[in-house]
Every structure is written in structure tokens, then in C-alpha cells.
Chains A and B, each alone.
Chain A
Amino acid sequence: MNEEQIPIRLNGREHAVAPGRTLAELLAELDLDERTVVVELNREIVRREELDDRALEEGDEVEVVHFVGGGAPRLVGGAPLGSTSRSGRPPRPGELRNT
């Protein structure tokens, strides 16, 4: 990690970005098409047209989600959104019992 980079949380994990990076630039760095994902910044949804509006700050929590196969709890691909603010956490798909 470059020491000039600032730490954020991205999809529940530590991530470092260069100072001044916007969400749109982060998505581009991750090679994600902003038309196929939805972004939450500190639990607030960021509209697609606003992805360029604000530079990321230290400690920002970013969630990048999309649609996966579902209809029953055992899901194809992707992990549920974790939460750091509640005592419990949502179960991971593998923990759910299916018959």
C-alpha cells in the first residue's frame, strides 16, 4: 500500500484508494460497469449520476452490489451485505439449512 493512500472499507474489507478518488473512479479501477451495479456510501444509496460528486474519505464504507440468482436462500455468487453496526450478523448462505 502506498503510504499516501487512504483506507476505506469496500464490501466489508479493508481497501486503499488514492486521495481524491471518487466512487466513479473507484468503480473504474475495479473494472466494474457502473450501469450494472448499485453503490452505497456509508449506508446511503448513491445515484449513478452522483458517483462523480464526492471524493472518498478515510473510513468511508462502500458497498457495491448487483443482482445474483435468488428466490431461495442458497444463492449463486456474491455474499450478503455484512453489517458492522449490529450485534448479530446476517447468516452466510452456507449456514442456511436447505433440504
Chain B
Amino acid sequence: MTTDPLEIAGRPFESRLIVGTGKYASPEEMLETIRATAAEIVTVAVRRVDLDASNRESILAWLDPDEFFLLPNTAGCYTAEEAVRYARLGREAGLSDWVKLEVIGDRETLLPDVAELLEAARTLVKEGFTVLAYTNDDLVTALRLEDAGVAAVMPLASPIGSGLGLLNPVNIRLLKGRLHLPVIVDAGVGTSSDACLTMEQGVDGILMNTALAEARNPPLMGRAMRHAVEAGRLAYLAGRMERREWAVPSTPMEGMLG
């Protein structure tokens, strides 16, 4: 896949799989799983240091910025103001000026608040951030995000943590067809077939977390996802055969005994 890099804001990445770091049983399991996926971009969140905990180590104790491209996110933010605050804190840590922007609008479904998202995106782009925006699979919002100057649009396959897979491939293809930016499907993938099917739509990449962390064997699922994303990408590039509702023999009829 080295000749087919994922390019975001002019920066090439060999892997089209981006992974989160939440929900793992232990940091050891997280690291083993991430390595199994061969992902380069890894998302992290900004939170208060727990001053009561005996173990106050940052997740950076486990994730080497030389091995992974660490992408701070604004997970859990419900307003543009809050998301901008978290993005600035993430940037101040000194890793990069990239941010995965999330502004949630509803606690039950964790669906994005697109009005707040657009406002936060405009502010952060103005402040020089490279913004990757988590959004609905809605074309108009995606176009507005592109106008706002984000570096990638990240529509959901289905709600965060749901594992329902790609609910609306038509919308995802529509977005990919209309946007000039990378389209990275973020959230909802449950297992390898979901990832493969999503990549077959022609999108540029996938971000996942729960499908890995909640698998019975996360490192093994990591390997499965790595291959699924690659397989789906290759199948998209190869171009699938036409669907038809009748049979066509693969073997010639000529030369059969009369």
C-alpha cells in the first residue's frame, strides 16, 4: 500500500486506519492492539489530571510520538466554546496543531451538533489548526466544513460505540463524490466486514475505537481490521464487477461433448 498513501493536509500516511485509545482494559492491551492495526494516527483526549489517583501518568507514557502521530480530540465537548478550549489545551501540549474536532449535540445518540461544530471549525481554522471534523453523513454540513477550511471531513457510519456498521452507504458515496477533501469515516464500525464495506465505498480512511477495545480479543481484531481496511481499499481501486440478477457461466460452453 506504500504507493497509495492517505494524504491529509499535505502529509502522507501509509495506513488508512486511524484508531482511538479509549475503553481498553489496560494500556498494555491498547498498545498491542494499536500495533496490530498498523495505524499511524492515534487519537488522545484532554482531561484533568486526577490528583487523587496514585497513578497520574499521561497516556503519553505509553504512546511514543516518534512511533505514532498523536491526534488530540475534543471528545465529550458539547459547545463550540468548550471544543475550542480543549483544542487549544491539546495544542499547548506541543505535539502538533492538528485536532480531531467533535462537538456532540445529544447525549443519547452522541450525534454531532453541526451548528456548534461549524462555529468551532471556523474559529480553529482561523487560529491555524489543522482540523479533522467529526460530523453527520450529511452532504450540506460536509460542504460547509470544506468551505470553513477543515483538512478532512469525518462522517459517521453509525453512532459512536454502536457497532451498527455503515448505515447509509449512499450518503457516504455522495460526500466522497462531492468533496475535494479526504473523507474518513469515523464511528460505528463493528467488525471487519463493516470496515471493508466502508472502504469499498471509496472513502479515504476509517477511524475506530470501540470495535477494537470491546472485541473479545482486541489485538486479534486489530489485525482483522488492518486487513479489512486494506482489502476494502484494494477492492475499491480494483473496481468491482457489475451486479446482475442472472447467472453467467465462468466456463465456456464451446467444446462440450455433443
Interface set of A (CB-CB < 8 Å, partner B): 10-13, 30, 32, 36-38, 40, 43, 45, 47, 63-81, 83, 86, 88, 90-91, 93, 95-99
Q: CB distance B58 to A36 under 8 Å? A: yes
Q: CB distance B50 to A72 under 8 Å? A: no
On chain A, the residues within 8 Å of B247 by CB distance are none
Given A36, A43, A79, A95, which contacts B107 in the complex, CB threshold below 8 Å?
Answer: A95
**B56 contacts A by Cβ under 8 Å:** yes
CA distance in complex: A72, B108 (Å): 14
A38 to chain B, nearest CB (A): 5
**B8 contacts A by Cβ under 8 Å:** no
A65 to chain B, nearest CB (A): 5
Q: Give me 6 other A-B pairs in contact (C-beta within 8 A), A36-B58, A38-B93, A70-B47 excluded.
A: A30-B51, A66-B49, A68-B58, A72-B187, A77-B53, A81-B82
Size of interface on B: residues with Cβ below 8 Å to A: 53
Looking at chain A's contact residues, the main secondary structure is loop
B73 to chain A, nearest CB (A): 6
Q: CB distance B60 to A67 under 8 Å? A: yes
Q: CB distance B45 to A75 under 8 Å? A: yes
Q: CB distance B93 to A71 under 8 Å? A: no
CA distance in complex: A91, B108 (Å): 11
Given contacts A71-B43, A73-B160, A75-B47, contact A97 B22 (CB under 8 A): no
**B232 contacts A by Cβ under 8 Å:** no
On chain A, the residues within 8 Å of B161 by CB distance are 72-74, 98-99
Given A47, A67, A72, A74, which contacts B46 in the complex, CB threshold below 8 Å?
Answer: A67
On chain A, the residues within 8 Å of B57 by CB distance are 36
On chain A, the residues within 8 Å of B24 by CB distance are 69, 76
A-B contact pairs, 30 of them (CB 8 A): A10-B51, A12-B48, A36-B57, A45-B88, A66-B59, A67-B72, A68-B44, A68-B58, A68-B59, A69-B24, A69-B27, A70-B20, A70-B47, A70-B73, A70-B76, A71-B73, A71-B75, A71-B207, A72-B75, A72-B160, A72-B213, A73-B110, A75-B22, A77-B53, A80-B47, A80-B48, A81-B48, A86-B79, A88-B78, A90-B76
